[in-house]
């Protein structure tokens, strides 16, 4: 039985980062809403309570029944989680005299306590809270403080419960991974069996059991997620898998033909469908980003469904949905950040069951699985590309001409990135999580070309660094590279006379513009 840590999500922006850190300890974890603890799951070896944007005193604050797990398995409360534990068990949480944000240093650390084994004196941590714990419950003891926070960490003297008011999951808590290792491995007893190799073996066995002798249809996108799913399914069920690759007309330049060749080289049974006319017709005049996504998602299903009906004995639809897709489509408050056509169920008329082998993985984990499967590096290292394609990189309405402009600009950008070798010998493309060009088609810019005034569109270049797309920072591209790309786009792409670079991070911005 595979062990797991449950992370109960109270709405913190860093909840997914806690999950990343636990996975880095080769331990499977599952992030669930604060009120969805799986009471009857014997594989759960520990619980982590996340932070939250709320105060424990807010009427709308999220609450959980601690008796479901407290005293039965180890518990770690982080920030709001720590305050909730204290507040619920008779301690006192009050508004801090001044908000406690940023770097702090631990003092009076009880390094004999198993949560702080291996900790150094004066270790840096990261605080982010407006309330503070002024009194801990009976049966608890303080195990670390800072200059301003007396109860920086505390623990029960009777049951396996620990709580910290800082964030061990963030980069600026320098021994944060040590603390999480102490909890997950030392306290919870993780066998650290979660790995790409174990995932491949387990998933192929589960797919064979789940699918039996049924035929499966997979929607391929050209990206690493659906490609990894295709190879996993091919290993599990062989020629009972049929892949459908829909060209909605907004892929990258020549991408449809390049990807079809790559898939055939993997021995996959792939059907390619050019449906670009339908998508362009249905998107005509639409400028709202969410409406674009919904139209593309609807049309994709219609085109896919029409092709899938030709495979009369298919019973399953496989998709390359990964964890961030599901998180961004519906957060804990029930608010949609952006719709994703892989998420939200299937049309009833398809009469297919859903198979999503990667739904618990982050992007970098998917890549590790791809390497484990022996897939070509060119597929594994492909940057993420949005399902709606260039439609969400064109501000305003979508036309074939605008797509042509953006395809040409984007092709120069990406090909230049693939060819640029950095001073450390690494190819620039491989240093970047995701890159692409954005056409500001609702804006026109005055320029001069050949002594003539021009009035054409600006293009914005976007490149970010990340590990899982939950957070991202803008990439500091070399100036000589940017100068060359800008000059080449303006000189070679008809309709563009200005190039800009996006230096926004996520949050507050998203990676895509729409």
Angstrom distance (rounded) from CA 186 to CA 247: 50
Angstrom distance (rounded) from CA 373 to CA 62: 41
Phi, psi of 136 (to 5 degrees): -95, 160
Q: What is the 3-state secondary structure (H, E, C) of 371-434?
A: HHCCCCHHHHCCCCCCCCHHHHHECCCCCHHHHHHHHHHHHHHHHHHHHCECCCCCEHHHHCCE
456 given a catalytic annotation: no
Residue 476 in tokens: 């500091």
Residue of 30, 100, 169, 328 marked catalytic: 169
The number of helix segments (H) and strand segments (E) in the chain equals 14, 19
Angstrom distance (rounded) from CA 361 to CA 369: 10
End-to-end CA distance of the chain: 42
Residue of 129, 167, 248, 341 marked catalytic: 167
Which of 438, 424, 441, 434 is closest to 468 using CA atoms? Answer: 434
Residue of 29, 30, 79, 243 marked catalytic: 79
Task: Write out the H or E segment, with its range, that includes residue 257.
Answer: helix 255-265
**3-state class percentages of the chain: helix first, strand second, coil last, to nearest 5:** 35, 25, 40
Task: Write out the H or E segment, with its range, that includes residue 103.
Answer: strand 92-105
Residue 269 in tokens: 């049974």
243 given a catalytic annotation: no
Phi, psi of 508 (to 5 degrees): -85, -25
Strand partners, 101: 128
Whole-angstrom CA distances from 319 to 27, 226, 233 are 25, 6, 11
The separation between CA 215 and the C-alpha centre of its own chain, rounded to angstroms, equals: 30
167 given a catalytic annotation: yes
- Would you please indicate which residues are annotated as catalytic (active-site) residues? 79, 167, 169
């Amino acid at each position: 039985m595979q062990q797991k840590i449950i992370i109960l999500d109270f709405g913190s922006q860093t909840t997914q980062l806690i999950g990343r850190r636990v996975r880095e300890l080769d331990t499977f974890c599952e992030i669930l809403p604060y009120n969805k603890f799986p009471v009857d799951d014997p594989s759960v070896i520990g619980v982590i309570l996340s932070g939250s944007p709320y105060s424990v005193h807010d009427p709308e604050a999220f609450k959980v029944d601690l008796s479901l797990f407290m005293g039965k398995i180890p518990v770690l409360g982080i920030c709001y989680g720590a305050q909730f534990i204290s507040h619920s068990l008779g301690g006192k949480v009050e508004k801090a005299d001044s908000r406690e944000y940023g770097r702090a240093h631990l003092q009076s650390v009880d390094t004999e306590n198993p949560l702080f084994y291996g900790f150094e004196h004066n270790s840096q941590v990261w605080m982010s809270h407006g309330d503070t714990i002024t009194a801990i419950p009976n049966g608890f003891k303080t195990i670390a403080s800072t200059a301003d926070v007396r109860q920086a960490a505390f623990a029960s003297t009777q049951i396996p419960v620990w709580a910290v008011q800082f964030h061990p999951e963030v980069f600026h808590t320098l021994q944060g991974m040590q603390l999480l290792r102490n909890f997950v491995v030392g306290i919870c007893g993780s066998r650290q069996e979660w790995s790409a190799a174990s995932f491949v073996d387990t998933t192929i066995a589960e797919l064979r059991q789940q699918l039996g002798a049924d035929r499966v249809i997979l929607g391929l996108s050209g990206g690493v997620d659906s490609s990894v799913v295709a190879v996993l399914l091919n290993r599990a069920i062989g020629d009972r898998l049929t892949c459908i690759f829909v060209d909605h007309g907004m892929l990258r330049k020549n991408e449809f033909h390049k990807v079809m060749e790559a898939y055939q080289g993997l021995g996959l049974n792939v059907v390619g469908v050019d449906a670009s006319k339908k998508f362009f017709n249905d998107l005509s005049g639409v400028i709202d980003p969410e409406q674009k996504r919904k139209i593309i998602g609807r049309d994709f299903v219609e085109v896919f469904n029409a092709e899938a009906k030709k495979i009369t004995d298919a019973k399953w639809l496989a998709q390359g949905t990964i964890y961030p897709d599901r998180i961004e489509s519906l957060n804990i408050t029930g608010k949609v950040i952006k719709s994703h056509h892989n998420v939200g169920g299937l049309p009833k008329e398809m009469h297919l069951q859903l198979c999503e082998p990667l739904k618990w993985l982050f992007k970098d984990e998917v890549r590790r699985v791809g390497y484990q499967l022996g897939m070509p590096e060119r597929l594994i290292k492909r940057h993420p590309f949005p399902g709606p394609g260039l439609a969400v990189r064109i501000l305003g309405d979508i036309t074939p001409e605008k797509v042509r402009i953006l395809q040409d600009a984007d092709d120069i950008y990406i090909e230049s990135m693939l060819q640029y070798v950095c001073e450390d010998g690494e190819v620039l493309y491989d240093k970047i999580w995701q890159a692409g060009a954005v056409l500001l088609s609702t804006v026109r810019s005055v320029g001069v070309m050949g002594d003539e005034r021009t009035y054409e569109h600006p293009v914005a270049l976007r490149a970010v660094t990340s590990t899982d797309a939950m957070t991202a920072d803008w990439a500091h591209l070399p100036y000589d590279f940017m100068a060359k790309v800008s000059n080449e786009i303006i000189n070679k792409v008809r309709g563009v006379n200005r190039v800009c670079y996006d230096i926004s991070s996520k949050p507050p911005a998203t990676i895509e513009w729409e």
